[in-house]
Amino acid sequence: MTLARSDKTAEFKQKIETRQARIGIIGMGYVGLPLALQFSQERFSITGFDIDSSKVETLNQGGSYIVRIPAAEIQSARKNGFTASADYSLIARMDAVLICVPTPLNEYREPDLSYVTSTVKSIAPYLREGQLVILESTTYPGTTEEIVVPLLEEGNLSGLRVARDAFSAGFYVAFSPEREDPGNDTMARRDIPKVVGGCGPAALELACALYGSIFQRTVPVSSPAVAEMTKLLENIYRCVNIALVNELKQLCMRMDIDLFEVIDAAKTKPFGFQAFYPGPGLGGHCIPIDPFYLSWRAKKYDFQARFIELAGQVNNAMPYFVVENISGAMSQHGKPLHGSRILILGMAYKRDVDDLRESPSLAIIELLQKRGALVEYNDPFFPSVGRGRRYALNMTCTTLDRIPEFDCVVIVTDHSQYDYAEIVNKAKLVVDTRNATKGIAAANIIRC
């Protein structure tokens, strides 16, 4: 007897409730791996997929390559059945497939969906009826319906189509944006509400049921496009406000006003204000990138997202501002930038994370090198920095006991491991871009 379509969705939900649903997560990076571990903690059978064989091998040996995820968590997941693989044919065995791959910008600052499209093409031949496919990668509104769905349908060897309701044959598709905040230990991952948009009510129901098993709350919305736009709004909100304080920092420096003191005073207001802080530039996979995804998409509708683009321009200019201030500080101390030895403290894009993506440190180092400075770095999370998508540094970490050898020490990432008082005491000159030396009174500190 063949099950009715409504019975198939009921069967899927029962598998979730009884923890018999098999879940495949593609992309074992900063989003996919924590998500896999979260499902594993709830006793689901999890397979993590990645094209990087070294990641697959490390995970299957019970190791970790992300600092904030201890190996013990991987080993605990392994005991619960977690395994990693580069073999996409195993997708056929999964009940749900979650895609967590990068969505960077290309050299022209346009969306690069190559990781998404190559992943979708790779899994399409193995999809079977009744499976649920969810895209988590941040992207512009319309990606799920206009790119992912057609590629899945075109590449499926069984000729299946997306099931728009519980009575249709095919597989289900949804979009649910990741909301990872690396380094944030104040909120448990399961307490972060999960926004979900489905290609039809059945997909939405199943996706909410799946995420509802590991998150305290799901937030269903009317379509994948709404969920896609939600993620962009969240990050553009931060981007715009950071651009505001970055611009105010430059003004306040001319006015000889401490912007950090201003922010501390303003945030005492119990309503209508949220504190954002200036820095040397934006980093990470979301905030420096997402505004350009939306401004690019807006052009299709003959709309110029001027406010969003302006915020991006302000933030992108911050590494140049920092370098100019380093040059000015060096001049005040009778040293030209060209030929001077400069130590960059912190390569990660934010405090206490091992993530280089879009880090302003990379841009600052390259700008300093172009102006003839001899640059080295220290970061407790990176023994070496080689070649990435937008940089080719090939540098190794310098020890802090060499601080006195440098003409200038630049604090770019304010890791909590650093003893800033000791650094100031040893350094000839300190340029602080993060207010990390707050409370330290010394003539050799320049804050910018």
Please name every residue paired with 135 in a beta bridge, in sequence order, or none if there are none.
99, 175
Distance CA 176, CA 174 (A): 7
**286 given a catalytic annotation:** yes
Question: How far apart, in whole angstroms, are the C-alpha atoms of residue 255 and residue 249?
Answer: 10
- DSSP assignments along 239-288, one per residue: HHHHHHHHHHHHHHHHHT--HHHHHHHHTTSSSS-------S---SSSTT
Whose CA is closest to 356, among 433, 288, 276? 288
Q: Are 395 and 361 in contact (CB under 8 A)?
A: no
Instruction: Say how many Å lie between the first and final Cα of the chain, rounded.
Output: 72
Distance (Å, whole) CA 263 – CA 130: 52
In this structure, what token pair is assigned to residue 427? 């350094």
162: which 2 tokens? 């997306």
The amino acid present at 297, given as its one-letter code, is R
Q: Phi, psi (5° rounding) for residue 345?
A: -100, 115
H or E segment to which residue 104 belongs:
none
CA distance linking residue 259 with residue 318, whole number of Å: 16
**Which conformational region is residue 335 in: left (phi greater than 0), alpha (psi within -120 to 50 degrees), or beta?**
beta
Q: How far apart are CA 93 and CA 20, in angstroms?
A: 12
Q: What residue type is 42 in one-letter code?
A: E
Residue whose structure tokens are 């619960």: 80
Q: Please enumerate in sequence order all residues whose Cβ is within 8 A of that of 407, keeping only pairs 6 or more positions apart, or say none.
A: 330, 333, 335, 340, 341, 342, 428, 429
Q: Which member of 208, 286, 408, 448 is catalytic?
A: 286
Q: d(Cα 397, Cα 96) in Å, to the nearest integer?
A: 42
Decide if 69 contacts 41 (C-beta within 8 A): no
Q: CA-to-CA distance for 407 and 397, rounded, in angstroms?
A: 17
Give the torsion sign (CA, 419, 420, 422, 428): positive
Q: Give catalytic residues, as residue numbers.
A: 286
